[in-house]
Structure formats: C-alpha cells, structure tokens
A and B are shown apart, each in its own frame.
Chain A
C-alpha cells in the first residue's frame, strides 16, 4: 500500500504554489523547504527510491549484474505462468470488487430497516478483524474435498443426496484377472459366455467384510433341480485373507440385491436380482454373457471439486467476498446515513415503489461512496496474494496464480530471479496507476467542494 499513500500525502504537502520565492506567510523559501525535508526524505527513501530501483533492477538478469534490456518483460509477457496470472487478475478485478460492493450495498440498505441492525452489522463486519492468513486457513477447510471435513461439500452432498440415492455396493469390483471385466459406462461383463446348466460364479471384492457382517454366507451355485441359468454373486474375500480366489469359501458373504443381466448380441434377454444367499436364476438359455450393470455400483456423490483447477479462482474470490463485504457495508451505510430522508419520503408520497426508490434515488445518491468502495477494493484486489498462497493446494496453484503471487514466486519462492520479479512489480504498478489516478482526481474534486 506504500504506493497509495504516496500521492495522497504528497498532494496536501505540496500546498498552495509559492509566489516570488516567498511562502504565504512571508518566510523565505528555504524555511519552507526545511519543513518539507523530513516528509521528502521519508517519501524519497520509502517510495520513490524503491520504485526507481525496481524499474532499474527489472532491466537486469537473475544475478543482478548482466544488463538484459527488456528481456524480463518479454519473458513475463510470453511465459504461460504470467499469462494465467494476468487472466486471473482480470477476473479478480472485475468480479471481486463488484460482488463485494453489491453485497455491501444490499446489507447496508437492508440493515437500515431491521431492529437488530448493529448486531447484524457487527457479524457481517467480523471477518474484517481476521487476518488474510487466518481467513485463508478457514476457507481451505471450508473447501476441503471430503464432505466430512469441508462445509461447502457437506452442504452440496447433503442437498444432492436428498434427491438421489447411491447404490448398495459402490466400491465393489471384480479381481483384476477374473472372468468379469469392466465395461464402458460402468458395470462389469463376463468375458466368457455361459450356458444354462452350468452354474456361474461372479466373485466381487473391494467391500470390507465387516460392512457385510449382517449378510448371509454365500451359497455355492448349483444347477441341481432348477432350470435356467444359475449363479452366485458374493464377496470373494474373507477377513484375514485366505480362501481361494473365484471360489465360494466358508465364511465369505453373499451380496444380496445385485442386478444381473443376461446379454446376447448386445441385447438384454433376461435379468434378475440376487437373493439373500447371493444366488440368482436367469430365465435364459445361453450362450449368453452375464452383466452386472452400473446401477449396482454408482459411486456416492462426492461434491464439487472446489479446489480443482477450474473452480479454484471463483472459490478464492468467494473467501475474499466473505472478508470484505463487511467493509463495503460499513462505508456504504455511512453514506446512506447522509442521504436526505425527505427525498426518499417525497418519492414514496408520489407513489414510487420501494424498488424504484432504491434504483432511482438511493443508488444515484450513493454513487460517490460506491465509487470509493469500488476503487479501494480494486487496488486491494490487484495485490491479492495471501488468500491464494494459503488456499490453493500445490496442484492447482498454477491455475489460481495472480501477479503478486507470481512476483513472489519468481523472485523469492525458488525462482530466485529478482529481475523478472521486479518486472512484474513494475507491471503491477502500471496496472494500479489508472485506478490511482481516478482516486486522486476524485479526492481533489472533493477537496474543492
């Protein structure tokens, strides 16, 4: 934020222009300069010199002694890392301030009407009291993939599961080298064909035997006394190992309610569900292939991949909004307090709806405050670093990259190329300048008023 203070403090310090080498009070010029000196020295040492040196340093290579002209700039504009960073920065600058301001405006207008306004405002404002680092850690947990740990996914999964159920045996699978093989679109089909008369063994594994402790022991398939194609679906794994793969050993549990289909030339000719001892009887002659369709094994819904490559930036922006909408709300509420009541009353008397009053009167009157909030947030967002550094896991940090992070990474975080880092710093400065210019102009205008 050093850059923001520079023009701000410089403007009042400059004061009215000196006439004829005399100050307004009639003291000689050097006295005036003497008083300015401490401020100038501080500004020079803390703001002007670092900026100048950064520009100078950005023209040198990694070791700081070889002059490379604009190579560093070429590198940052051609490198894929910086391009993602630039793109993400654009997303940030557009999304974060607008959403935050909009939410802040909403809260400010709404809290005007409610009885517990102060308490509500306090709660909304609370996240501001937390450091970015802590907020990052909080949201790292919120976005955790495991629904048992991450709140966001717990909600998503909870909502999803109320509408659709998962299957009985989501994790079941055949042994890798058996007769059953995975097919496209889920489910398993036998490689061999089977005929009625010879019982079929369909062994599955991948379910903890303890989870099936209530189930019956599996029964060996036998074709005695029946017609049709018979077989058994069971868990081919006894606790503690042992038993022959592919054979029903004592103690191995039956899988009940599994749908089995007989398939001939791609057509389902018969289907059945296994009984509680794991056996099934299909009304088919053969030769047919047997299929355990995917509906038996649909995996439970695991929620949204918040921290994955595609959602990471919006997810982090969400945490930023959580932090800063309180700030926006407080500023806007202060602005709202100074909106003349009689204008609103007049509109209402004239029969304007509340929505009209809001869009046509409240918002235009608040425009200067909204502008201040937006600009402040924009400057703030351009240098966002901590949230991304903390929230993004290493595997998707590339996708969440922003300029400030890239600056850190390339100059200190292993890249150890401070030339490139300085170049990014200069680029960031250039990006902040237009916003700064708007800010300064606005402040001047206000001072004149």
Chain B
C-alpha cells in the first residue's frame, strides 16, 4: 500500500502508463502444458521446484522502480531454477481495479500480489483466486506463524503467501539532534513524552508529521490504539463491531493529543503540519538544517531518506520501535500477499518459491524489504536498521495487526479528504474536541460500512 500512497498524486499518469504496458503484456501466457517433470538440480536449496522449461508466466504487482528491479532478481532466480519464463506486469496504483478488469477480460495474470486483506477476501469470495497447492502449504507451515497464515486464508482455505510486508510501528529520528538534546531511544509512552519535551526544550520541534496525508494520522492512531486497547479491541474496531464512540477510542485520542495536540511539538505548527505531505515530513527531518527531530512511519521511510536526503540510514537516521502505550509495544503491519489467479503447475511453483526462505532471502539481501518469514536468517538483511525492523516484526509473533484503515471500506479508511483521514485532520486542528470527532468518525464509519455491505 505504501507505494500506492506515495504516488497517489501521479495516479492518472500511472494509470495511463499501465494501460500501455498492459496492452503490450497481453497474450504473454499461452499454451504451456508440456512441462517435463524433472526436478531441477538442487544445491542446498530450501525448496525444490519442478522443471518448467518453456512455460510462460505473468506476475502482477504494484512495484515500480527500484522495488521492481529488486523483485526481478527474485524472478530471475526462479527462472534459473525452473526454466520457466516470468513476465512482470505492473498494476498501477489501483491493484484491485486493475486485476478486476483483467479477470473480466479473461486474461488474469498467473500470480498477483494483492495489497490488502480485504481484496484477498473479496477475490476469494468471487472465486478469482485459486487455493495454494500442498507444496506451498508445506512451506507456509515451515516458515510462517499462524497469524500470517490466517491472514492469507479465507473460510478455512489457504490462498495467499505474504511475501513483502511493512512494519508500520517505527519512529525515525535524527541522530545528531538526539545527541545534542541528550536523549536516547524511548521505550514507553512516558519516556517518549519526556523525549519529545526535551527535544522541544533543546530548540527543535520534535515531531514531523505529514498531516496533509490523512493515512499518516490514522497510522499514529492505530499504533496507540493497538498498544493501549489491545489486539481484541483493535480487531473489533477494525470490523466496526464496536463503535467509534467507544471509551477506548476516547482514551486513545486523548493519548494521541498528548503529543500531537501541542502546537510547539509539531514542525512548523499545526497549520503547516496539515499541509505537509508525507515525503516532505521525512526530508525536513533529515535535511541539512533539520526542522524536526523525529518522524513516525513505516520501514519504507528508509527509502525516502536514502533517495531524497543526504542523510545515511544507520548513522544520521536511526529508528526505534513505536513506544509501548499499554503493556506491549504495538506492531502494525501491512503487506503484499501473493496469490494464484490462474491455476497451473508453474503458478503454484512460483507461489511455493515465494513462500520459501530462498525466495525471501534474495530480496532481503538487496535491502528495502521485510519478510514475515520467521526462518529467514536475520543476517540476510544488509544493515542493522533493516535487521532491527524485521526483528521487531518477527518478535511480535501473532500479536501484530494489520493496518486498520486498510481493512475499512475505502470511503472511510482510504480517501483523501474523507472519513477517518479527514476526521483525524480535524482532530489535529482541534485536539480538545474529542467527543465531536468521535461522533463524526462514527457517522462516517456507519455510512461507509453500510454502503460497502
């Protein structure tokens, strides 16, 4: 999802490009039944794959740019081991719509990466995705915890493999500011508040928040809510089984207001924050003359720091897990789940490969990637930071939760200027008005969940 969000602005452009690319990619999957059943020579591989010489497969995913390049290396390895030919098909930002139109047109890709649990469920209900084969299930048993397996299942059947996930419970900080202000990485919410106050006393606004992008605010809220109210409540709220007027939401919003409700904590004040887009919130934290000490968001922040600023991740920019508000530190996650959309031996083999440790390791070594695969050696990650991020995710076991706003209907959890995004921006404008905000959140949620059926 993060890629989608990053490039939301250029959605129209991307869509046009996608159309062109799709036209070119059409008809690349033809008759390929005659695969020989020889085993490819295995050299210490964690997974055995069939020989698929001559088979042609397509894989559709949202990735572009460096992400696509890195993933292509994974596909190259698959091609080398099986002899199949895999074409990468970029979906553009709106993955569900893209795949939906492909299915309607009778040309689904063999394997696709779905960005949300909701989409997986919807596709499974419509019969657009095929259950994972026994080899894949075996890999899942070996490499994944129950939480991740369940997220890829629908009504008892295993469909998907979470290949690339995001850890969205991280706070990135400018090391020189932390050093000058004499603070260290906080572990609990109280320590975090002290840190924020000290950085503010030091003379730098402590928090940079991309308030123009509502999803940044929903992610803040989700972390606090998950840690404070616990996973059960979190699930209930995500499914709208409890109302947004629930006292637990009041507490979470009040907690959020302890830091985001203070004008002097926000880089440039509230008005500026509400017009700061997510990328700018990162660059201003790690610029030559930093405007803020910390920025909260997921692991993908690292890419932005490397690309958009001169700061080095690991020396100038470091990261600590989102502090524990309640008993446990939260781990909010999101991820791309691989599914088979056209049944074939090749497609199933590719899915198996993606579920294997080998498949994860190739990308892990290149960086910019987090795998939920618990068997993957943490030393595969190229640097300390990504190791730390992956460790926090794996350590959470089954207590991690999926991004709540991604689970909600788009009208509520995923629209610029609407629903939860807009309400939390209103909250930032007026953090004392919790009651009213909650009432509006509930009204929006009720309408959106009703429309979504």
Contact = CB atoms under 8 A, between A and B. Distances in A.
A211 interface: yes
A415 B411 contact: yes
Contact of A417 (B180, B200, B451): B451
Given A173-B264, A393-B212, A394-B425, A241 B275 contact: no
Contact of B451 (A62, A242, A398): A62
B410 A414 contact: yes
A285 interface: no
B215 to A, nearest CB: 9
Contacts of A307: 275
A234 to B, nearest CB: 13
Contacts of A144: 275
Main secondary structure of the interface of B (DSSP, over half): helix
Contacts of B419: 414
Contacts of A208: 180, 202-204
Contacts of A283: none
Contacts of B2: none
B205 to A, nearest CB: 9
Given A145-B272, A397-B417, A416 B182 contact: no
A209 interface: yes
A206 B416 contact: no
B321 interface: no
Contact of A237 (B179, B201, B274): B201
A145 B268 contact: yes
B203 A237 contact: yes
Contacts of A308: 271, 275
Interface residues of A, number: 42
A146 B13 CA distance: 28
A205 interface: yes
B50 interface: no
A209 B428 CA distance: 30
A131 to B, nearest CB: 10
B197 A176 contact: yes
B198 interface: yes
A413 B415 contact: yes
Contacts of A359: none
Given A240-B180, A394-B214, A414 B414 contact: yes
A264 interface: no
Interface in B393-421: 409-412, 414-419, 421
A62 B180 CA distance: 56
Contacts of B429: 395
A396 B274 contact: yes
Interface string B210-229: 01111000000000000000
Interface string A219-250: 00000000000000000010111100000000
Contacts of B180: 208-210, 239-240
Contacts, number: 113
| Residue among A173, A240, A413, A414 with the highest chain B CB neighbour number at 10 A | A414
B9 interface: yes
A100 B337 CA distance: 50
Given A206-B201, A395-B212, A416-B452, A137 B9 contact: yes
A171 interface: yes
Contacts of B182: 240-242
Main secondary structure of the interface of A (DSSP, over half): loop
A206 B453 contact: no
Interface in B286-309: none
Contacts of B414: 414
B411 A416 contact: yes
A414 B415 contact: yes
| Residue among B9, B211, B415 with the highest chain A CB neighbour number at 10 A | B415
A394 B201 contact: no
A409 interface: yes
B345 interface: no
Given A205-B202, A207-B203, A241-B183, A133 B12 contact: yes
B135 interface: no
B56 interface: no
A211 B212 contact: no
B9 A395 contact: no
A394 B452 contact: no
| Residue among A146, A393, A395 with the highest chain B CB neighbour number at 10 A | A395
A121 interface: no
A129 to B, nearest CB: 17
Given A144-B275, A414-B410, 19 more contacts: A145-B268, A146-B268, A146-B272, A173-B264, A175-B201, A208-B202, A209-B180, A211-B203, A240-B182, A241-B198, A308-B275, A394-B212, A394-B214, A394-B421, A395-B211, A413-B410, A414-B411, A414-B412, A415-B410
28 contacts: A144-B275, A146-B272, A175-B201, A205-B201, A207-B203, A241-B182, A241-B198, A390-B9, A393-B277, A394-B417, A394-B425, A395-B211, A395-B274, A395-B422, A395-B425, A395-B428, A396-B275, A397-B416, A398-B417, A398-B422, A413-B416, A414-B411, A414-B414, A414-B418, A414-B448, A415-B410, A415-B451, A416-B410
Interface of B: 9, 12-13, 179-183, 197-198, 200-204, 211-214, 264, 268, 271-272, 274-275, 277, 409-412, 414-419, 421-422, 425, 428-429, 448, 451-453
Nearest 8 pairs of A and B residues by beta carbon: A241-B182, A414-B415, A397-B417, A414-B410, A393-B212, A208-B203, A205-B201, A395-B274
